[in-house]
Amino acid sequence: MPRLNYYRRIFSAYLFGGKSHLTFWHDTPVGNPNAVPGELGEYYMPFVEKADYRGAYDPSGVPQLDYHGHIGVQYNPIAIAQYGLGNYNLFRRTADRERRKKFFVSADWLASHLEQNSQGLAVWNHHFDWEYRDTLRAPWYSALAQGQGISVLVRAHQESRDPLYLDAAQRALACFYRPITEGGVAFPDESGDLWFEEYIVSPPTHILNGFIWASWGIYDYFLATGDPSARELFSRAVRTLLHNLERYDLGFWSLYEQSGTRMPMVASLFYHQLHVVQLRVMHRLTGEDAFARVANRWETYTRSSSNRIRALCYKIAFKLCYY
């Protein structure tokens, strides 16, 4: 039954369109040329399409996603953060007060919806079950949500000077210092590398896009506060990426994650393009040329129609075998 529900929801979203959660997530991945490394200004991706999301909103103006099927309409902390960041970018460009208002709707929701997990850490919970191999049972939390929530909150503090936002960002950051076994989102591997997990599962899967986005939240917290421990945490994330990027390269496409399964989980075209954008941002933030080299290589993969078809076949086979 869980698998049937999964395919019913996916087919409803992909084949019949409408205002599904996919209308929010699958925008065009691009970097933001207005984002300046070392400055807490516009976010590193524009999220302009997300700022004008045409799906459901609650009475306060907080966006909600329609997952169809038995999940239905839900708050998703990651979507709320990205919606806020998109409106923040547009506010910075235009000084439009309506954009500012929408940004603070997102920031206020995030500041007021941190919840304590079983280990007493402040997290943004997802209050719906989610099919990811074994089903994630509500409530579940994510390093990706933590990182992007922090990126919203530190900008809200910079714009308003209200300490409430910085206090919430500090509480949200704490889970990055604690391993998964202690209620955090961090996983130190046997090689000494430190990962931040988008989905808390065992064994961890090291989803690439979620790890990178999470690390940007830590970087933003450092820019906002000058906290040396946050700077070191971001530096460890950079080292982890540099040590492991080649593990995500199939020679014709990138991997979505380190699945630990016999068949690798290849990235979709959307996520492959997102990886390229994220690596270019990492190059701008760190100056590490390895990020640009890998981004260039992965970008060339997309120019081959045979690579795109091959990647799609891998993706479909993986879903059929493991979902």
Closest listed residue to residue 170, CA positions, set 230, 256, 245, 109 = 230
Report pLDDT digits (tens) over 62-96. Answer: 999 998 888 999 999 999 999 999 999 999 999 99
pLDDT confidence band for 132 (50 / 70 / 90): confident
pLDDT, mean of residues 218-247: 98
Of 70-74, 109-113, 302-306, which has the strongest mean pLDDT? 109-113
Give the 3-state DSSP-derived string for 101-167, with helices as H, strands as E and coil as C: HHHHHHHHHHHHCCEECCCCCEECCECCCEEECEEECCCECCHHHHHHHHHHHHHHHHHHCCHHHHH
Give the per-residue pLDDT at 10: 47
Choose among 133, 130, 129: nearest CA to 261: 133
- The yes-or-no verdict on residue 13 having pLDDT over 50 is no
The answer to whether residue 119 scores a pLDDT higher than 70 is yes
CA dihedral 61, 172, 73, 2 (to 10 degrees): 170
SS3 at position 195 = strand
Average pLDDT over residues 29-47: 97
Task: Report the alpha-carbon distance of residue 196 to residue 51 in Å, rounded.
Answer: 26
Look at residue 72 in the predicted model and tell me its pLDDT.
Answer: 92
Give the pLDDT score at 17.
Answer: 45
Dmax over CA atoms of the chain, in Å, equals 53
Output the pLDDT for position 8: 53
Averaged confidence pLDDT in the chain? 92
Name the pLDDT band for 26 (thresholds 50, 70, 90). Answer: confident
For residue 281, pLDDT beyond 50 = yes
